[in-house]
Amino acid sequence: MTLGEIATPALILDLPAFEANLAAMRQACAARGVRLRAHGKAHKTPELARRQIADGGSAGICAQKVAEAEAFVRAGIDDVLVANEVVADGTIDRLARLSATARMAVCVDDATVVPRLGAAVRRHGGTLGVVVEIDVGAGRCGVSPGTPAADLAATVAAEPGLRFAGLQAYHGAAQHLRTPDERAAAIARAVDLVRQSLAALERRGIPCPDVTGAGTGTFTLEAASGVYTEVQAGSYAFMDADYARNTPAEDAPAFAHALFVLATVMSTAGSGRAVVDAGHKAASIDTGLPVVHGRPEIAYVGASDEHGVVTDPASTLRLGDRLLLIPGHCDPTFNLHDHVVAVREGRVEAVFAVAARGKGW
Ligand SMILES: *Cc1c(COP(=O)(O)O)cnc(C)c1O
């Protein structure tokens, strides 16, 4: 099949661009001496995680939810960090079950969860890595850096069945600060808070195997910090429209747009505009509307459930014409699709199941 024959709206992966992004990230991490653990929440697609590990230098994968991790493990990925807190009994039990067959780790930011994790893991006969998450400025999850982080690590280290696996210091709010200077300032503060936490761990005699964190917007900073050992970037493989609004740092690798929503013009009845068959059920709009790829004269200006309104001042669009839309935000866009159509030079090479799509429990 060619692009022109695919039923729309369809999620499209440009394989050469995806492969180039994997190679650029692999080289960037290797050059800076840090491990990559790509974040699978970006794509929820086991085959793409498998390629990130096989070709992209990723040591394992991150998942954000246990059900997402289950989909990856079921597909044969055997090293997963749930880079998030898990607190419900049933979810802890499912995580512990995974820990009996795969190398699993999870974040904590509350000491009351630790004995519950330990009991569940012992019940299932596994071992679980536990990463203490610290809040390095994002104002989301995470204990305070320094002594509180070391106290929680000591609780983890004392719990049979659990292995203290290090610190998670992810600064989500820094990823989309637009200028390199703003991002550098935010990550410099984060690095300082990591250092305070490492010092507190050392005072208690607790070795810290890893410091994990970082996303596509800032990873070169964490990688160069001398304290982070692992990078969790996810969006780099796809590059959405929102990430393209960041001014890249000079030493950062260039990533190409690899993810698109293919849409068909379904109406030209209005004047000065056309309507495509991809609305916000095909491309997420939480960080802005899609951008039309390769057609700077056409702007996507309005999304409803199943319609996208595009400007067409010169009335060049015809019924049935196809447009490639760059989604505003790749992660929730993947979550809208059952399949991603992998294309090379305009021809379909494979169709991958977005197997963890909708798996948020
Ligand atoms: C989303 C996320 C990432 C990856 O961020 P990108 O911006 O997609 O590279 C890494 N770590 C955590 C904890 C995240 O939530």
Q: pLDDT tier at 205 (50, 70, 90 boundaries)?
A: very high
**Predicted pLDDT of residue 217:** 98
Q: What is the mean pLDDT of residues 205-232?
A: 98
Q: Which residues line ligand 1 (CB under 6 A)?
A: 39, 41-42, 64, 83, 170, 172, 175, 215-216, 232-236
d(CA 324, CA 327): 9
Helix, strand, coil tally for the chain in percent (to 5) = 35, 25, 40
Residue 336: beta bridge partners?
A: none
| Beta-carbon count within 10 A of 192 CB | 14
176: left (phi over 0), alpha (psi -120 to 50) or beta: alpha
Which tens digit of pLDDT belongs to each residue from 13-67?
A: 999 999 999 999 999 999 999 999 999 999 999 999 999 999 999 999 999 999 9
Q: What is the CA(80)–ligand 1 centre distance, in A?
A: 14
Tokens matching residue 86:
């898990």
Of 21, 35, 41, 176, the one to substitute when testing ligand 1's pocket (max ligand atoms within 8 A of C-beta) is 41
d(CA 134, CA 339): 35
Q: pLDDT tier at 197 (50, 70, 90 boundaries)?
A: very high
Tokens matching residue 290:
């899609």
d(CA 312, CA 314): 6
Residue 129: beta bridge partners?
A: 105, 163
Q: What is the CA(170)–ligand 1 centre distance, in A?
A: 8
Q: pLDDT tier at 291 (50, 70, 90 boundaries)?
A: very high
DSSP H helices in 130-176: 147-157
Q: pLDDT tier at 5 (50, 70, 90 boundaries)?
A: very high
d(CA 289, CA 267): 19
| Beta-carbon count within 10 A of 23 CB | 14
The percentage of the chain sitting over the pLDDT mark of 70, rounded to a whole number, equals 100
CA dihedral of residues 185, 330, 345, 19 (deg, nearest 10): 50
Residue 261: beta bridge partners?
A: 11, 325
Q: Give the ligand 1 atom nearest the CA of 42.
A: 8
Closest C-alpha among 3, 10, 45, 26 to residue 255? 26
Query: DSSP assignment of 196-220, as one string?
Result: HHHHHHHHTT-----EEE--TTTHH
**Predicted pLDDT of residue 207:** 98
Q: pLDDT tier at 69 (50, 70, 90 boundaries)?
A: very high
**Predicted pLDDT of residue 237:** 98
Which tens digit of pLDDT belongs to each residue from 78-93?
A: 999 999 999 999 999 9
> Kind of pairing, strands 10-14 and 322-326?
unpaired
Q: What is the mean pLDDT of the chain?
A: 98
Tokens matching residue 146:
């320094």
Q: What is the mean pLDDT of residues 154-158?
A: 98
**Predicted pLDDT of residue 119:** 98
Instruction: Evaluate if pTM is beyond 0.95.
Output: yes
Tokens matching residue 268:
């030209």
**Predicted pLDDT of residue 40:** 98
Collapsing DSSP to helix, strand or coil, 74 comes out as: helix
Which tens digit of pLDDT belongs to each residue from 221-241?
A: 999 999 999 999 999 999 999
Q: pLDDT tier at 209 (50, 70, 90 boundaries)?
A: very high
The answer to whether 82 and 64 are in contact (CB under 8 A) is: yes
**Predicted pLDDT of residue 47:** 98
The answer to whether 230 and 10 are in contact (CB under 8 A) is: no
**Predicted pLDDT of residue 246:** 98
